[in-house]
A and B are shown apart, each in its own frame.
Chain A
Amino acid sequence: MDGEAEYVIGIDCGSTLCKGVLLNRHGVAAFSLQPTGWNLQESAARVLANLRGNAADIAPNTADNDMVGNMPIIATGYGRDMATEKTKAVTEISAHARGAEYLMPGVRTVIDIGGQDCKVIAVENGRVLSFQMNDKCAAGTGRFVQMVLERFNADINLMDTLLAAEKIIQLNSTCAVFAESEIIGLLAKGYSREEIVGGVALSMAVKISSLSARVGLRPPVVLTGGLAESSGIRKALSQVLKVEVQFLPQGIYAGAIGAACIGGF
């Protein structure tokens, strides 16, 4: 840890979720998660207030109103510039690389599926070696998955059950809007939602494999971001990339943890 800061806050203000962690030298002391909504500043402020509350609870007598007020705050994610009170802003690419290294030392490739983009990052000792992001297109993003799930009245927790289907189909459209038309067509032909959600996961994995081909994929590979918990997505990725995509506990917080690490640990 540099300087006197005992705690550092990392905030990852994404397009869908705003994640925050309170980090000290022993590990993550508190997590906070809020939907981003339309007001980025407000959701970042809510996360910050939660974490400050946690810090005050953890160290009630270290005189530490001061400490709580002066903790370094590192912001990342696409709303990073909107997070008021931040001491520093870093891109989510550096943050995810560093956060993944913190959670799994020795990690070499990070796949981050975010709300509005997805990226493959080659990492060494927590530093970014190179990266690729999807361009100007929603297919392959968390938002696309969310849209499909909404159409089936399913939430993210249900996704893994839906992904258990043996038979999956191939989606051909590369655009999220056209993919939705294609899905409507498939429904009309009588395909089940399990088969279609499986097809969505597979098409997403294919998108990511074209990004990873340019970066080079070295194990260990982990998944971070909003879909980090989904074993179904990991399975689809492992199948297409032909390498095991490992489960990263707290992977959804990788950006926030990485930001906090860059800030002080």
Chain B
Amino acid sequence: MIEQRELPEIFESFSDARKQGFMAMKNLKEQGKGVVGTFCTYVPVELFLAVGLVPVGLCSTSDETIGEAEKVLPRNLCPLIKASYGFAAADKCPYMYFSDLVVGETTCDGKTKMYELLGKIKDVHVMDLPHNQDRPASRAIWMEEIKRLKNRVEEKFGVTITVEKLHQAIRERNRERALLKKVYELSVMSPAPLSGLQQLQILFGAQFKFDHEKKVQELEETISRITEEYQNGRHPIPAAAKRIIVTGCPIGGVTEKFTRVIEESGAVVVAYENCTGAKQFDRQIDESADPYDALCDYYLNIGCSVMSPNPNRLELLGRLCDQFKADGVLEMVLQSCHTYAIESYTIGEFLKTRSIPFMSLETDYSSGDTEQLKTRISAFIEML
């Protein structure tokens, strides 16, 4: 079992960021700042940052309000979608409460239809996301959608997004992405200097820190402290622990159980090829290009299973397997997530060609399947 030993104190500020962020956000609101809630990594948050608006990831990682959501939505639906809607319907997510505008995107059918219902509760703007990355027409649609979002933001908040300000926002976010990439790349070292659960808490927690300069400083400090202690001989992860890469649906909140079970079985998660991890931080936005072209290309090329075909996911996953010397890949698919569930076969075949053991598991936001996950994941790790 990987013990979740203590990390430098500064780490606490990330594992607690979501909770502490509530107060920070309240203060920002009182100062008159506008807040934009988002659900997905496809939303170009640079448009909000450029004019001092605060983007925030909305609560969609707990089962607390699924009951409320099921009064309206079908039971047999992705838990992330149910939770997203449920938090708004039950008025239980402070971030949802503080959001002046919610920006959705037509990633999957479930979300697309849910936003129609969410629109009755909140001011929702939906971006029409094409599901292909090569066709010029797809790119043209996405470009138009980015411009439409820009106009909506300008209109709603009475601001002007200049090219200058947008450039600045791109540079800021790039800096943050680079630092978060540096955080997860710490685990390229063998043995890893931190557990996968701790890595996840930093990556997930960073989005709830709203002061850019302070966040950058804390990330730099966290990286240098972890590196320093590691060089001083502090190796909290046993060298024999099998190195796992997690792929699939986003992980955070209750689905941390997936990482917990892996690490309780004696392996260590070294990287996340999902929206909580590398998928979001691996690439940089082109700072030399026209900012709208740069945003359009960066966001459209995210390797999510909603894209067809989806070569970028394979490219990233293959690269991470080499870079992190993975012993195995485990995929978490949320119940009723068709695109990830179907793409699972492609991932399995791809990893077979590289002789990397792979297993995909379906779960939801309840804790009822922890034992079933445990048996399967332990057996997978015993197999490596």
Binding site for B on A (CB under 8 A): 78, 90-94, 127-131, 133, 135-136
Chain B residues within 8 Å of chain A by Cβ, number: 12
Closest to A77 in B: B375
Least CB distance from B328 to A in Å reads 12
A135 and B362 contact, CB distance less than 8 A? yes
B375 and A78 contact, CB distance less than 8 A? yes
Closest to A96 in B: B379
For the complex, give the distance between the alpha carbons of A148 and B99 in Å. Answer: 55
**A residues near B190, Cβ cutoff 8 Å:** none
* Chain B window 328-366, contacts with chain A (Cβ cutoff 8 Å), 1 for yes, 0 for no: 000000000000000000000000000001010010000
In the complex, 14 of the A-B residue pairs with CB atoms within 8 angstroms, ordered by the A residue number, are: A78-B371, A90-B378, A91-B378, A92-B375, A93-B382, A93-B383, A128-B379, A128-B382, A129-B383, A130-B383, A131-B379, A135-B362, A136-B369, A136-B372
For the complex, give the distance between the alpha carbons of A130 and B378 in Å. Answer: 13
For the complex, give the distance between the alpha carbons of A133 and B375 in Å. Answer: 10
Interface centre among B357, B376, B379 (most CB of A within 10 A): B379
A91 and B375 contact, CB distance less than 8 A? yes
A90 and B382 contact, CB distance less than 8 A? yes
In the A-B complex, list the 7 residue pairs whose CB atoms are closest, starting with the nearest. Answer: A93-B379, A91-B379, A128-B383, A94-B382, A91-B378, A91-B375, A94-B379
Closest to B381 in A: A91
**A residues near B357, Cβ cutoff 8 Å:** 130
* Chain B window 205-231, contacts with chain A (Cβ cutoff 8 Å), 1 for yes, 0 for no: 000000000000000000000000000
Least CB distance from B260 to A in Å reads 15
Closest to A90 in B: B382
**A residues near B378, Cβ cutoff 8 Å:** 90-91
**B residues near A90, Cβ cutoff 8 Å:** 378, 382
Beyond known contacts A92-B379, A136-B372: 13 more, CB 8 A cutoff: A91-B375, A91-B379, A92-B375, A93-B375, A93-B382, A93-B383, A94-B383, A127-B383, A130-B383, A131-B379, A133-B372, A135-B362, A136-B369
**A residues near B369, Cβ cutoff 8 Å:** 136
For the complex, give the distance between the alpha carbons of A130 and B384 in Å. Answer: 10
Closest to B362 in A: A135
Least CB distance from B200 to A in Å reads 24
For the complex, give the distance between the alpha carbons of A127 and B357 in Å. Answer: 14
For the complex, give the distance between the alpha carbons of A135 and B359 in Å. Answer: 14
**A residues near B359, Cβ cutoff 8 Å:** 130
Least CB distance from B360 to A in Å reads 10
**B residues near A129, Cβ cutoff 8 Å:** 383
Interface centre among B369, B372, B383 (most CB of A within 10 A): B383
**A residues near B372, Cβ cutoff 8 Å:** 133, 135-136
Closest to A131 in B: B379
Least CB distance from B10 to A in Å reads 35
Least CB distance from A66 to B in Å reads 30
Least CB distance from B377 to A in Å reads 9
**B residues near A127, Cβ cutoff 8 Å:** 383
Least CB distance from A36 to B in Å reads 15
A133 and B382 contact, CB distance less than 8 A? no
**B residues near A91, Cβ cutoff 8 Å:** 375, 378-379, 382
Least CB distance from B351 to A in Å reads 12
For the complex, give the distance between the alpha carbons of A128 and B379 in Å. Answer: 8
For the complex, give the distance between the alpha carbons of A130 and B376 in Å. Answer: 11
**A residues near B375, Cβ cutoff 8 Å:** 78, 91-93, 133
Closest to B382 in A: A94
For the complex, give the distance between the alpha carbons of A133 and B378 in Å. Answer: 13
Least CB distance from A216 to B in Å reads 12
For the complex, give the distance between the alpha carbons of A91 and B380 in Å. Answer: 9
Least CB distance from B21 to A in Å reads 35
Least CB distance from B352 to A in Å reads 10
B376 and A133 contact, CB distance less than 8 A? yes
Closest to A262 in B: B382
For the complex, give the distance between the alpha carbons of A130 and B359 in Å. Answer: 9
For the complex, give the distance between the alpha carbons of A128 and B381 in Å. Answer: 10
Least CB distance from B247 to A in Å reads 17
Closest to B358 in A: A130
Least CB distance from A3 to B in Å reads 19
For the complex, give the distance between the alpha carbons of A129 and B372 in Å. Answer: 19
**A residues near B379, Cβ cutoff 8 Å:** 91-94, 128, 131
For the complex, give the distance between the alpha carbons of A130 and B357 in Å. Answer: 9
For the complex, give the distance between the alpha carbons of A135 and B372 in Å. Answer: 8
**A residues near B376, Cβ cutoff 8 Å:** 93, 133
For the complex, give the distance between the alpha carbons of A133 and B372 in Å. Answer: 9
**A residues near B362, Cβ cutoff 8 Å:** 135
Least CB distance from A213 to B in Å reads 12
Closest to B371 in A: A78
**A residues near B383, Cβ cutoff 8 Å:** 93-94, 127-131
For the complex, give the distance between the alpha carbons of A130 and B371 in Å. Answer: 19
**A residues near B371, Cβ cutoff 8 Å:** 78
Least CB distance from A245 to B in Å reads 22
**B residues near A135, Cβ cutoff 8 Å:** 362, 372
Least CB distance from A143 to B in Å reads 15
Least CB distance from B327 to A in Å reads 15
Least CB distance from B244 to A in Å reads 16
Least CB distance from B337 to A in Å reads 15
For the complex, give the distance between the alpha carbons of A129 and B378 in Å. Answer: 14
Least CB distance from A142 to B in Å reads 16
Closest to B376 in A: A133
For the complex, give the distance between the alpha carbons of A15 and B375 in Å. Answer: 14
For the complex, give the distance between the alpha carbons of A26 and B379 in Å. Answer: 28
For the complex, give the distance between the alpha carbons of A115 and B325 in Å. Answer: 38
For the complex, give the distance between the alpha carbons of A91 and B383 in Å. Answer: 10
